[in-house]
């Protein structure tokens, strides 16, 4: 039996955090991805990269805040750490013993980052795109001073639009008939959830309608997808849509 290969995670993370390498990291939750990103930023700062030239993008505000806190906390420790502690921390980060010039640089970084206008750029993808739109409105095809609507205002407008459509259904027999059919199968709370889901996926629905050349074509596409004819009964359609895929026999 051959000996198993043991991978030192510290070595692998240092390689991924090396700013001179272009790296793609794919790993499960809790495996240290945020640490690698934090170490990469710290290594960039130590290499002499100005703080205002570093941009970190994340998916969530929580992840952005976590990265910013970790970097600030480590830089603050470098400022006041005992010489041996600082040497040990930099050695673990870089994989080599730092020279005196590098340790002096490390002690200055916290103040330099604080003095950087706006600090380190650690943002969500959405906030970064919003900043680009604000800086280049004409190039983006929007009017200057345009602001992105917050989630609360967007939700209120969506509810207002929904209520307006429902109230106007009496003037549109097709909508009224459809609502009557839907509400006969759903409770009030379920209807609200259904409307929210439709609003959330309105882009995909619009794409389906466009590709199918209208509602009738979309209905035909759904029937084809579940494998029944348009003349199938409701029970037949439900059974077809709920049918389990046949399991494959083990080889």
Within this chain, do residues 121 and 75 fall inside the same structural domain, yes or no? yes
Which domain covers residue 91, as residue numbers?
9-140
**pLDDT (average), residues 44-59:** 91
Tokens for 25? 């990291």
* Confidence band of 248 (pLDDT split at 50, 70, 90): very low
pTM: 0.61
**Is the domain of 22 the same as that of 81?**
yes
Domain stop point among 97, 118, 140: 140
54 is a domain residue: yes
Does one domain contain both 89 and 172? no
**Is 249 part of any domain?**
no
Does 181 lie in the same domain as 67? no
Same domain, 90 and 208: no
| Pair 122, 13 in one domain | yes
Question: What are 147-206's pLDDT values in tens digits?
Answer: 778 888 888 888 888 888 888 888 888 888 888 888 888 887 888 888 888 888 888 889
Tell me whether residue 32 is in a domain.
yes
pLDDT tens-digit series, residues 121-145: 999 998 899 888 888 988 888 888 8
Distance (Å, rounded) from C-alpha 90 to C-alpha 95?
8
Residue 145 falls within a domain, yes or no? no
Examine residue 3 and state whether it is found in any structural domain, yes or no. no
> If pLDDT is split at 50, 70 and 90, which confidence band does 8 have?
low
pLDDT exceeds 70 at position 2: no
Contact, 144 vs 138, CB < 8 A? Answer: yes
Domain-embedded: residue 248: no
pLDDT score, position 236: 85
Verify that 67 and 176 share a domain, yes or no: no
Residues 66 and 185 in one domain: no
Whether 146 is covered by a domain: the verdict is: no
End of a domain among 140, 171, 203? 140
- Determine contact, residues 122/68, Cβ cutoff 8 Å: yes
108 and 163 both lie in a single domain: no
Residues 113 and 20 in one domain: yes
Q: Which of 188, 169, 186 is nearest to 178 (CA)?
A: 169
Domain end point (choices 140, 159, 178): 140
The whole-angstrom separation of Cα 144 and Cα 122 is 25
Average confidence score pLDDT of the chain: 85
> Cβ of 46: how many Cβ atoms within 10 Å?
19
Shared domain for 98 and 181, answered yes or no, is: no
DSSP string covering 124-154? EHHHHHHHHHHH-HHHHTS-TT--PPPHHHH
- My answer on whether 135 and 156 are in the same domain is no
The dihedral region occupied by 48, where left means phi > 0, alpha psi between -120 and 50, and beta the remainder, is left
Query: Does residue 96 lie in a domain region?
Result: yes
Domains identified in the chain, total number: 2
């Amino acid at each position: 039996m051959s000996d198993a290969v043991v991978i030192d995670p510290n070595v692998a993370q240092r390689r991924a955090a090396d700013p001179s390498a272009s790296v793609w990291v794919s790993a499960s939750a809790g495996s240290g991805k945020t640490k690698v990103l934090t170490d990469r930023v710290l290594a960039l700062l130590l290499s002499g990269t100005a703080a205002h030239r570093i941009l970190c993008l994340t998916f969530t505000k929580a992840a952005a805040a976590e990265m910013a806190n970790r970097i600030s906390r480590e830089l603050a420790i470098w400022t006041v750490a005992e010489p041996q502690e600082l040497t040990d921390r930099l050695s673990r980060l870089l994989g080599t013993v730092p020279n005196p010039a590098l340790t002096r640089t490390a002690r200055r970084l916290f103040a330099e980052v604080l003095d950087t206008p706006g600090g380190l750029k650690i943002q969500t993808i959405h906030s970064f795109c919003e900043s680009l739109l604000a800086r280049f409105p004409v190039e983006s095809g929007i009017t200057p001073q345009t602001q992105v609507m917050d989630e609360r205002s967007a939700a209120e407008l969506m509810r207002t639009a929904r209520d307006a459509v429902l109230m106007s259904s009496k003037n549109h027999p097709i909508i009224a008939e459809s609502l009557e059919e839907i509400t006969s199968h759903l409770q009030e709370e379920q209807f609200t959830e259904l409307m929210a889901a439709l609003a959330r996926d309105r882009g995909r629905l619009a794409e389906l309608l466009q590709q199918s050349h209208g509602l009738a074509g979309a209905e035909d596409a759904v029937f084809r997808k579940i494998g029944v004819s348009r003349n199938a009964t409701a029970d037949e359609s439900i059974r077809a849509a709920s049918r389990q895929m046949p399991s494959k026999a083990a080889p």
